[in-house]
């Protein structure tokens, strides 16, 4: 398959994939987001309404109690009109607690008190007050003689029965204020589950009993939350927040049909599909022209690189440059040219370099020889000093014998990591400039023998400082596999270039001898070659470096 065809397909897929996700995501995600939003919002509304109902209940009870305590001395109701209207109070009647005959009343232009409380209603009121003592009792919704609805506040004191009647207009008013979507609404029930406010007005007028609904039973039990239920009024599944007014016992639910949420998500999905279709057409057109522009220079570069891989290092000269070729392709063409020019130069260098050590990843003996010799050559020209340190792990043979070669290899690997990291930190600490910056080259010679070449050092003090911190930052406790912990020390020997040795082999020899002298004097030490008498002073261990330097 040609590159141009592949790129066209890739462009189209790249363009259509996010669009397809955008098309698929909104339907489910939008529905989930809407449901989550409904759960939070409807519950908040229900709780706020329940709080408002409790405040109304408290105001009504307090006002009723105040009025009945003041009723004996009150002669006029002119000042009560506004209060009665605000609280939807019809009237307050005072009756004989034994006969039900009305003794006195407080009333305005609203419904009037009867001359006598009907027998059945009087009996029902007496039943409501049983066991309540001096407490004001607020009843559930009841019918009036003119087919209206009323809620009574009752209080019994000595031989007197105080009866307050107020309409359910307040509940209708606050219930009608809640409306969202097409059928979202609020419903309020009294403490027995009968409707006080509902968008279905006949249910409201008839005090429809909703106590059998699970959500209403939860409200009457004092619960609040969010649930789904089947609405007998709308005949479909609803999601609703619900709460009980804790003081009054009235319940509030704020339902909305799930179908509204699903329809909204479907609308979003259809819109997303239209966007996806338009985006796909645009992607096809752009893909065609983009592939036409991009594929030709890419094909040329592929052919040139294949020929370079076959040994034709100058094949890049046959590449042509388009007039409107993107800058990245021009840069790539130049990079191929530069790569071909340097490839031949690097072939000989690569062939001379040794490979990295297979266990530690550090340069091995041959690679270190080449790198160190390059540094020595630079030092010879600049006149700066250098040093070679020879490191040997004390007791490494016992690690292999006791714990096995796996433990030995793990130890070498962890040691090399610490050494490499420490060399980098030390080199950065003493960077003095591009031309004479300190260089630190670690390597593994073999077994448990490691070497470090220091270039552009300030003198033997630099090697002493470097070696001192080896014992605190590199040697020490190692955590190996299977929970194995080993405390490993080492011996370090060093030689200085050019004062003690003028070439790599001599430096390595003197540093090796110095290391063995350190090992023979108790291990865990650093010896620097003393070229005055070929004896090794500066005998130090991890606690003696300040004295040695």
pLDDT tens, residue order, the chain (549 aa): 666 677 677 767 776 777 666 556 555 566 677 677 777 888 899 889 999 999 998 888 888 888 887 765 655 555 677 778 888 888 889 998 888 898 888 877 777 888 898 889 889 988 888 888 778 899 999 888 777 899 999 988 888 898 888 888 899 888 888 887 788 889 999 989 999 999 888 898 889 999 999 999 999 999 999 998 888 878 888 889 999 988 889 999 999 888 887 777 677 667 666 766 777 777 777 777 767 666 767 777 777 777 777 777 666 666 666 666 677 777 777 777 777 777 767 665 565 455 799 899 999 999 999 999 999 999 999 999 999 999 999 999 999 999 999 999 999 999 999 999 999 999 988 876 656 789 999 999 999 999 999 999 988 999 999 999 999 999 999 999 888 999 999 999 999 999 999 999 999 999 999 999 999 998 899 999 986 544 344 444 444 433 333
> How do strand 525-528 and strand 490-497 relate by DSSP bridges?
parallel
Q: How far is CA 193 from CA 62, 165, 247, 371, 500, in A?
A: 24, 20, 16, 92, 104
Which CATH number applies to 89-167?
3.30.450.20
User: 10 Å Cβ neighbour count for 279?
Assistant: 17
> How far apart are the C-alpha atoms of 512 and 450, rounded to whole Å?
10
* DSSP 8-state assignment for residue 339: H
CATH fold of 353-548: Alpha-Beta Plaits (3.30.70)
What pLDDT is attached to residue 546? Answer: 33
The closest alpha carbon to 365, from 474, 451, 461, 279, belongs to: 451
Q: Which residues contact 28 (CB under 8 A, 6 or more apart)?
A: 265
Residue 327 neighbours by CB under 8 Å, 6+ apart: none
Question: From the centroid of its chain, how far is CA 436?
Answer: 48
Q: Is 469 exposed, middle or buried (0-12, 13-18, 19+ CB in 10 A)?
A: middle
Please tell me the predicted confidence (pLDDT) of residue 549: 30
Q: What is the 3-state secondary structure (H, E, C) of 344-383?
A: HHHHHHHHHCCCECCCCCCECHHHHHHHHHHHHHHHHHHC
* Predicted pLDDT of residue 519: 92
The CATH class for the domain spanning 171-259 reads alpha beta
In this structure, the number of other CB atoms found within 10 A of the CB of residue 370 comes to 14
**Model confidence pTM above 0.95:** no
Contact 439, 454 (CB under 8 A): yes
Is the preceding omega at residue 278 within 30 degrees of 0, hence cis? no
């Amino acid at each position: 398959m040609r590159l141009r065809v592949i790129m066209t397909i890739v462009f189209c897929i790249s363009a259509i994939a996010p669009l397809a996700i955008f098309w698929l995501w909104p339907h489910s995600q939008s529905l989930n987001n809407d449901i989550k939003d409904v759960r939070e919002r409807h519950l908040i509304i229900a709780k706020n309404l329940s709080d408002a109902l409790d405040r109304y209940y408290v105001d009504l009870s307090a006002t009723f109690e105040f009025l009945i305590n003041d009723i004996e001395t009150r002669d006029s109701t002119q000042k009560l009109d506004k209060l009665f209207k605000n609280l939807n109070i019809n009237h307050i009647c005072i009756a004989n607690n034994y006969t039900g005959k009305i003794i006195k009343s407080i009333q305005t232009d609203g419904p009037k008190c009867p001359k006598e409380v009907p027998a059945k209603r009087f009996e029902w009121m007496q039943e409501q007050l049983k066991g309540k003592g001096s407490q004001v009792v607020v009843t559930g919704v009841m019918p009036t003689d003119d087919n209206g609805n009323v809620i009574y506040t009752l209080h019994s004191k000595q031989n007197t029965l105080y009866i307050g009647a107020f309409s359910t207009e307040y509940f209708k008013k606050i219930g009608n204020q809640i409306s969202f979507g097409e059928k979202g609404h609020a419903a309020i029930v009294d403490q027995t589950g009968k409707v006080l406010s509902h968008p279905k007005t006949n249910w409201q007028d008839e005090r429809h009993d909703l106590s059998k609904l699970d959500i209403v039973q939860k409200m009457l039990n004092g619960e609040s939350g969010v649930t789904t239920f089947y609405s007998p009024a709308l005949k479909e599944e609803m999601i609703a927040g619900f709460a009980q007014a804790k003081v009054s016992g009235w319940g509030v639910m704020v339902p909305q049909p799930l179908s509204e949420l699903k329809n909204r998500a479907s609308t979003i999905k259809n819109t997303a599909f239209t966007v996806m279709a338009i985006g796909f057409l645009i992607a096809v057109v752009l893909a065609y022209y983009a592939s036409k522009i991009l594929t030709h220079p890419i094909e040329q570069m592929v052919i040139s690189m294949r020929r370079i891989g076959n040994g034709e290092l100058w094949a890049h000269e046959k590449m042509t440059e388009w007039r409107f070729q993107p800058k990245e392709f021009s840069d790539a063409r130049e990079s191929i040219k530069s790569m071909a020019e340097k490839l031949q130069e690097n072939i000989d260098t690569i062939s001379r370099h040794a490979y990295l050590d297979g266990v530690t990843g550090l340069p091995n003996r041959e690679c270190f020889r080449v790198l160190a010799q390059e540094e020595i050559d630079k030092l010879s020209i600049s006149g700066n000093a250098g040093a070679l340190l020879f490191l040997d792990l004390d007791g490494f043979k016992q690690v292999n014998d006791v714990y096995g070669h796996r433990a030995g290899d793990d130890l070498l690997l962890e040691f090399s990591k610490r050494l490499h990291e420490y060399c980098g930190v030390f080199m950065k600490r003493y960077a003095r400039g591009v031309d004479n910056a300190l260089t630190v080259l670690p390597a593994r010679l073999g077994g448990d023998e490691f070497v470090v070449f220091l270039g552009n050092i300030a003198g033997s003090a630099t090697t002493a400082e470097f070696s001192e911190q080896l014992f605190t930052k590199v040697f020490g406790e190692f955590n190996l596999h299977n929970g194995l912990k080993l405390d490993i020390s080492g011996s370090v020997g060093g030689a200085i270039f050019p004062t003690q040795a003028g070439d790599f082999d001599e430096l390595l020899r003197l540093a090796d001898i110095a290391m063995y002298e350190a090992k023979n004097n108790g291990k865990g030490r650093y010896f620097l070659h003393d070229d005055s008498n070929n004896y090794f002073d500066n005998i130090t261990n991890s606690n003696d470096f300040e004295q040695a330097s």
